[in-house]
Amino acid sequence: MKELKASMAGTVLNILAAEGQAVTAGQAVLTIESMKMEIPVEAEVGGKVEKIHVEVGSFVNEGDVLMTVGE
């Protein structure tokens, strides 16, 4: 199990994967808006999305867990 954490504070703009979906390492699974920029967040490992901890519009701080991916 791998936790995908936010690398910076911002607002979740889009969630590009669903719980139960298989993702590959490097795949963009979320976008965060910070300082008027859209930042793609990529899965660090491949596996199944176990849980999505945020929703579109959520404000996240650096280090907050966004998703857990089962390896």
Which 2-21 residues touch another protein, going by CB under 8 A?
A: 7-11
First-to-final CA distance of the chain: 6
34 touches 9 (CB < 8 A): yes
Question: From the centroid of its chain, how far is CA 12?
Answer: 9
Stretch that binds another protein, among 16-24, 29-37, 46-54, 63-71 (CB under 8 A): 29-37
Q: In whole angstroms, give the CA distance from residue 67 to residue 5.
A: 7
Q: Where are the alpha helices (DSSP H) in 1-71?
A: none
Q: How far is the CB of 25 from another protein (least distance, A)?
A: 19
- Minimum gap (Å) between residue 35 Cβ and another protein: 4
Residue number, 20 or 36, with CB nearest to another protein: 36
Residues found near another protein in the complex (CB under 8 A): 7-11, 34-37, 39
